[in-house]
Amino acid sequence: MVEYKFLTPEQRQHFLEHGWLLVPGSIPKEHVDRWMKDVWTRLGYAPDDPSTWEEETIWMPRHRDMLTKEFSPAAYAAMCELVGGEERVEPLRNAYSGDQFIVNLGTEYWKDHDADPRTMPAWHIDGDWYQHFLDSGEGALVVIQVYTDILPRGGGTYVCEDGIAGICKFLYDRPEGSGNKPETGMYDHIKECKVFKQFTAKAGDTILMHAHLPHCVGKNHLRRLRVIANPHVTLKEPFNLNRANPEDYSLCEQVILRALDRSSIPEYRPTAPRAHWYPRNYVAKFSRVQGELERMSRDEVDSVYLKGDEEISVHNLRNGLGEEVLRSQRVVVA
């Protein structure tokens, strides 16, 4: 039986109905401030001069991290209960929270234009590093850690709440698994959906999303710095959609059962291997490391990339990266 000591009945019901949960004030301010201190230095942009903001959305590499359990105990407690207990959580991969920020600065164009979420091109579920199945636990929860206040129209992530059922059906119908790119057809149903939301939040909040909740980058109409990090919770084993005791289903599993209007799915069996590969976005993120280090070194530099091969190797393991990547990571700062 899954025990709930942290999540209230209302929070559990919210996750079941909407596929996501806000855990307010769950990242201590000192952690937010420490990693945000040099965000503009890392970006290389002038904070008060938008003409220097060359890119709209920036996926930054990770220089520093901490065990999520220590970094954000309240969010960690919520994560564990949503997946059915800490004993189901993979202890190394994705166990750390870091400063791999996703920055959304908007553009001049979006200041006075509206965006229609139905027609946004970038709807997706996360996980560019594994073959997706209905019961995949590699990215069981998609975590949004919030480092700046996110106001309405301020670049918060869009979610499509009634799109979960279409994702679950798509994966149920494909026991051979699927990639998560749009050309798979996994998101074709979203144009027919009706329940869209753009998140707002406060710095220090955490939002926990179900793996199968489709979402996309929100437009930032305000041109006010929006910073999040987007780690995941990985399980030791896939979701179990055929438990002997219904009280053992996690809330994540219940969301899938509910979406497919089932009480168990005993016939579901993946027919292809659970393939894994390196994250596709890694190269783009890593290409920013050298420039960021050079700019950081003008002030005070604190980065795993300057701590030697052993530290980098451990850091990579946490990120699901291997020795091949390490060999390409010789970074020198004058």
Find the shortest distance in angstroms from Cβ 142 to Fe ion: 6
Identify which of 262, 100, 137 has the alpha carbon closest to the alpha carbon of residue 212: 137
Find the shortest distance in angstroms from Cβ 122 to Fe ion: 9
Nearer to Fe ion, 68 or 180 (CB): 180
Which residues are near Fe ion by CB under 5 A?
A: 126
How big, in percent rounded to 5, are the helix, strand and coil portions of the chain? 35, 15, 50
Find the shortest distance in angstroms from Cβ 76 to Fe ion: 20
Nearer to Fe ion, 126 or 253 (CB): 126
Interatomic CA distance for residues 7 and 22, integer angstroms: 11
Max Cα–Cα distance, the chain, nearest Å: 61
Nearer to Fe ion, 228 or 293 (CB): 228
In degrees, rounded to 5, the angle at the alpha carbon of residue 165 between the alpha carbons of residues 144 and 7 is 45
Identify which of 54, 75, 254, 233 has the alpha carbon closest to the alpha carbon of residue 140: 233
Identify which of 8, 15, 9 has the alpha carbon closest to the alpha carbon of residue 254: 15
Nearer to Fe ion, 20 or 305 (CB): 20
Query: What residue has token string 């993946």?
Result: 270
Find the shortest distance in angstroms from Cβ 138 to Fe ion: 14
Interatomic CA distance for residues 25 and 240, integer angstroms: 31
Nearer to Fe ion, 45 or 158 (CB): 158
Copy the structure tokens of residue 22.
């806000």
Find the shortest distance in angstroms from Cβ 116 to Fe ion: 19
In degrees, rounded to 5, the angle at the alpha carbon of residue 212 between the alpha carbons of residues 209 and 217 is 65
Copy the structure tokens of residue 316.
């990579």
Nearer to Fe ion, 126 or 161 (CB): 126
Interatomic CA distance for residues 4 and 325, integer angstroms: 40
Find the shortest distance in angstroms from Cβ 209 to Fe ion: 9
> Side chain identity at 93, as an amino acid letter?
R
- The residue number whose beta carbon is nearest to Fe ion equals 126
Find the shortest distance in angstroms from Cβ 249 to Fe ion: 25
Nearer to Fe ion, 4 or 277 (CB): 277
